[in-house]
Amino acid sequence: MADRSPLHLLAVYGPLLLIGLAAGALRALGQRPGLPSSTRRAFGIGWVLLLLAGTPAWLFLAATLRW
At 6 the pLDDT is 87
Q: Is residue 48 part of a domain?
A: yes
Report pTM.
0.77
Contacts of the segment 31-39: beta carbons below 8 A, 24+ positions apart = none
Per-residue pLDDT of 9-62, as tens digits, reads: 888 788 888 998 999 999 999 999 999 999 999 999 999 999 999 888 888 888
Within-domain flag for 2: no
Looking at the domain assignment, is residue 29 inside a domain?
yes
Evaluate whether residue 57 is within a structural domain: yes
Q: Is residue 45 part of a domain?
A: yes
Residue 43 within any structural domain of the chain = yes
Domains identified in the chain, total number: 1
- Cβ-based burial of 61 (10 A; exposed 0-12, middle 13-18, buried ≥19): exposed
Q: Give yes or no for residue 66 having a pLDDT over 50.
A: yes
Residue 28 has a pLDDT of 95
- Measure the CA angle with vertex 51, ends 27 and 14; round to 5°: 100
Residue 30 lies in a domain: yes
For residue 46, what are the domain limits? 17-64
